Structures are given as C-alpha cells and as structure tokens.
C-alpha cells in the first residue's frame, strides 16, 4: 500500500500515526493495540478493545479491521483521549460517609446575574447553578408587598424576585444533573408573618422532596451521608431546620465543646483566612466534625471571587462563590466538581479526615514521598481569534493549585502568529507532595507584549483525574 499524504492539519498526530502504521496506509488493530499500550498506558487493553475503537471511529471500509488516519484523528480528538479520566465522569466515590466528609458545590447570592449593588436578580441564575451541579444555593429573603416574601441583596438596588418563584424553580430543576441533596441557605430577614409564608411555600411547593424530619441513617458520624432519596434541606426557619442550623463561630475550642453536629458555621473569607493561617490544623479538625461555609467579603461589589483552594485545603465543605463571575476561582471550582460524575459532592481526601495525625496545609514539612508529574505540551488547534482578528502569539501556562508548597506554574515558549495549529513540544516536570489536594490548570494565553498576555482558554481538573499516557486532549 502507498503512504497516505500528509494532512493539512494536525501534522503532529499524523507523525504519530505514521510511526505505528510502519509505512502502511492504514493502522492495523494490532498496531493500534501497541499504541494503546505504549502511548496511552492502557496496559490492560486487548485486541478486542482496539477493534472496538476501529468500529467506533473508522467510517471507511478498510481491509482486515484497520484504521485510516481520518479515523485515528477522530479517535484522538474524542473524549476517549481526553486528559480527564472518563471513569470519573460517573459517580464512583463512596457516598455513604457523613456530609462533613465531602466538598459540596456552593453558590453565593445565587439569585444575582451581575454585581452586588445594581445587578439583576433572576430565576435563571438558580437554573444555571443547578445545571452546573451546585448543591448549596443561597436565598436572601426580605419582606415584600402583599405578604409575599421577596429575594434580593438587601439595602441595594438589585432587582427583586418572589420567594415562591425561587422555590418553584428549585423544585423543578434541583435533580436534573444530580440525584444528591440540595441545601438551601436561607438568609432570613423577614418578619414572623412572612417567615410563616416562607415555611408554607417550602412545604407546599417542595412536598415530599423537603426534608422535615431526621433520617434513620447508618453513617458512622452524626450527620447523614449524601446517599438518601432526593431531598432539599432548609438552612433556616427553625421548624424546618434538621441538619444545617447556622450558628455564630466563636472559636475552635468553643465549637469543640459546645457545637452540635447539626449546627454549621458561616464566615466571611477574611476571617476564615486569618483562622487558617493562625491555626490550620485546628481548622482541619473542626471541619472533620462540622460543616463550615465560607463566603466572599462584602467589599467584592463587582461579584469577584477569592481563590477557593486554600479553604478546601483545610476541609471546608461549603466554599461559596459567585457563579456568575468567570475567572480563575470559578475555573478551579468547575475543575474540582467535574469529578465524581459532576454530582456536586466530592469526597475529601483521607489526609483531611484522619484522626490519627494532625494536618496543617500551611506547613512545608509533610512526611510524604514526592509525586512527580511529567507532561509534554505538544500542540493546539483552532484557537479562537481575538476581536481584532489578528492571529495569536500563543503560549501555554500549566499551573498547579494545591497547598502552598506545591503551587507553581510553568510556561511553554510563545509561537508567533499561529492560531490554527501552534506547536510547542515542551516537556515539563513538577514535584508534588500532596497530589490529592492538587488541581492542574492548562491555560492558553496570547503574548501581547514583553511582560503582558491575555487569556484565550483554559481547562482545569483534579490531579487524581489526570489520565496517564500521551498525547491527550484538553480545552475549553
């Protein structure tokens, strides 16, 4: 057979194809199996797996079950070769641990679509958050006209929506993408009369989906696990609060001696930051027993976000972000919570739950063997053009987000004037002490000056969800 002509794009994949095709025009099932073993590190793959890939991605009639370059390219650009381990796109973690054992996807002022002063409040914001897997929604409740409670950011010019419409929307969309419990964080500013109206709406609209009595749960801790029927848990209105009654945080010692398992604390980011820096190990221990919610400082009028990683590092379960604000913090949040099937609950690693040894994420002395991440940034394809229409000068930044001693970043070189098929072929290595607390972020940037660059696109995932082998695809 003749060699296939070089393709007009993805030359790097064509070169890889030619290596394993060994001069033939098509790739045999046996040659594809060799590729799976050597490059993709799929050591358990057999010839049946290779033949199934050919059946899925090859559309041409080929001799003896083989794959053309076009079929190989379809395979390489599919989810099968995504850098994210596809086994983690389904719920695979133990879902029978107490709620304190999980990071829970949490939204701050969920009703807002813009800033905190004059932004619009919208039911669509709740739908959007729920469809992203959010499992803790915030509802700020105030007295409204005609005994109808309203939701908005109090004492501001943000628009108002009806509380009953919010609850109806939650009831309709709560379990579209996740079967696990939704927590309603009700910031209650209503009079007693309108609180009674709120309670009536919660019961009448949510019906049997509203948790109104303690569950008979088998978890070893005092809080139930996420594995119960689809329920909505209210976090205010005393008669409806079962497991998430909010109490003021005084000190870790006070909580240890006085706080009940069904009570949780909620604190502003600045206070939480001071606590984790002063006594990180105490914060970790506190979060083994109790739920803690962190929310953005009131000074973030533009609805900007803090980096959530440092609060996950001490085991805080409910790290609330403004979901309407894109950027690094939400990239990290989306990256973490795409794990475990995107269900909104991610099991905390053992280091945060161990009662045998104290853990302080601020310490630079962790008695752990280092993990080495070796990767190669090969190429990009069809990068979006800026508004100017000028071709990009792209480079890739790989970032590690974890405990302070693990966090770092490295860049490839810049490829000039190439948005269609930039090629970097850059090897990188990272030394990581606590990979179970790490997120890896691949960020493409456009070099606009000697010291300046602009965001083009990114992809973030947990270190533990990285698929071994090369090459792999990633992008947003």
Phi, psi of 90 (to 5 degrees): -115, 160
Which fold is adopted by the domain 97-350? Answer: TIM Barrel (3.20.20)
* pLDDT tens digits along 107-165: 999 999 999 999 999 999 999 999 999 999 999 999 999 999 999 999 999 999 999 99
Beta strand 394-401 with 408-411 is: antiparallel
Q: What is the pLDDT of residue 236?
A: 52
Average pLDDT over residues 10-26: 93
Query: Residue 3 class from Cβ within 10 Å (0-12 exposed, 13-18 middle, 19+ buried)?
Result: exposed
Q: Report residue 472's pLDDT band, with 50, 70 and 90 as the boundaries.
A: very low
Max Cα distance, the chain (Å): 83
Average pLDDT over residues 458-471: 86
Q: What CATH number does domain 9-80 carry, 3.30.750.24, 2.40.10.10, 1.10.238.10, 3.30.470.10?
A: 1.10.238.10
Q: Distance (Å, rounded) from C-alpha 406 to C-alpha 286?
A: 24
Catalytic residue chosen out of the listed positions 14, 37, 88, 108:
108
* Stretch(es) of the chain classified as CATH 2.60.40.150: 369-463
- Does residue 469 come out as left (phi exceeding 0), alpha (psi in the -120 to 50 range) or beta? left
Percent of the chain topping pLDDT 70: 92
* Stretch(es) of the chain classified as CATH 3.20.20.190: 97-350
Catalytic residue chosen out of the listed positions 14, 153, 286, 401:
153
The model carries a pTM of 0.92
Phi, psi of 414 (to 5 degrees): -90, 135
* pLDDT tens digits along 176-232: 999 999 999 999 899 989 988 999 999 999 999 988 777 766 555 567 888 786 656
Question: Would you call 401 a catalytic residue per the annotation?
Answer: no
Question: Would you call 155 a catalytic residue per the annotation?
Answer: no
* Stretch(es) of the chain classified as CATH 1.10.238.10: 9-80
Q: Is the pLDDT reported for residue 464 higher than 80?
A: yes
Which fold is adopted by the domain 369-463? Answer: Immunoglobulin-like (2.60.40)
């Amino acid at each position: 057979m003749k060699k296939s002509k070089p393709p007009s794009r993805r030359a790097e994949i064509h070169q890889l194809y030619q290596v394993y095709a060994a001069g033939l025009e098509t790739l045999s099932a046996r040659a594809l199996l060799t590729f799976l073993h050597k490059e993709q590190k799929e050591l358990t793959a057999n010839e049946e797996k290779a033949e199934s890939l050919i059946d899925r991605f090859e559309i041409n009639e080929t001799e003896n079950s083989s794959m053309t370059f076009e079929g190989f390219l379809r395979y390489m650009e599919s989810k099968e070769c995504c850098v994210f381990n596809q086994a983690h796109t389904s719920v695979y973690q133990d879902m029978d641990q107490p709620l304190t054992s999980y990071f829970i996807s949490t939204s701050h002022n969920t009703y807002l679509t813009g800033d905190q002063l004059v932004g619009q409040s919208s039911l669509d914001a709740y739908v959007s958050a729920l469809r992203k897997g959010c499992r803790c929604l915030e509802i700020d409740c105030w007295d409204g006209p005609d005994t109808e409670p309203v939701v908005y950011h109090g004492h501001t010019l943000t628009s108002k929506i009806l509380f009953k419409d919010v609850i109806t929307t939650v009831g309709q969309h709560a379990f579209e993408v996740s079967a696990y419990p939704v927590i309603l964080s009700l910031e209650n500013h209503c009079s007693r009369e309108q609180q009674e109206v709120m309670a009536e709406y919660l019961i009448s609209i949510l019906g049997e989906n509203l948790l109104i009595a303690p569950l008979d749960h088998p978890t070893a801790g005092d809080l139930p696990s996420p594995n119960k029927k689809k329920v909505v848990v209210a976090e205010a209105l005393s008669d409806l609060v079962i497991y998430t009654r909010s109490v003021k945080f005084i000190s870790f010692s006070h909580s240890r001696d006085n706080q009940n398992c069904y009570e949780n604390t909620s604190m502003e980011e600045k206070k939480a930051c001071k606590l984790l820096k002063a006594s990180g190990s105490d914060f970790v221990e506190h979060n083994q027993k109790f739920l803690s919610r962190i929310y953005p400082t009131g000074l973030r009028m533009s609805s900007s976000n803090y980096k959530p990683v440092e609060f996950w590092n001490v085991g805080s379960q409910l790290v609330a972000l403004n979901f309407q604000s894109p950027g690094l913090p939400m990239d990290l949040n989306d990256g973490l919570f795409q794990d475990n099937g995107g269900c909104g609950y991610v099991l905390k690693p053992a280091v945060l739950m161990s009662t045998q040894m104290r853990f302080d994420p601020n310490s630079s002395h962790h008695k752990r063997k280092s993990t080495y991440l070796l990767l190669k940034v090969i190429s990009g394809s069809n990068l979006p053009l800026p508004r100017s229409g000028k071709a990009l000068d792209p480079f890739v930044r790989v970032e590690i987000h974890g405990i302070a001693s693990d966090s770092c970043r490295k860049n490839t070189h810049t490829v000039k004037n190439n948005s269609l098929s930039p090629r970097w072929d850059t090897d990188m290595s990272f030394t990581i002490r606590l990979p179970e607390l790490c997120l890896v972020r691949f960020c493409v940037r456009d070099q606009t000056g000697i010291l300046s660059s602009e965001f083009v696109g990114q992809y973030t995932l947990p270190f533990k969800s990285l698929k071994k082998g090369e090459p792999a695809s990633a992008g947003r």
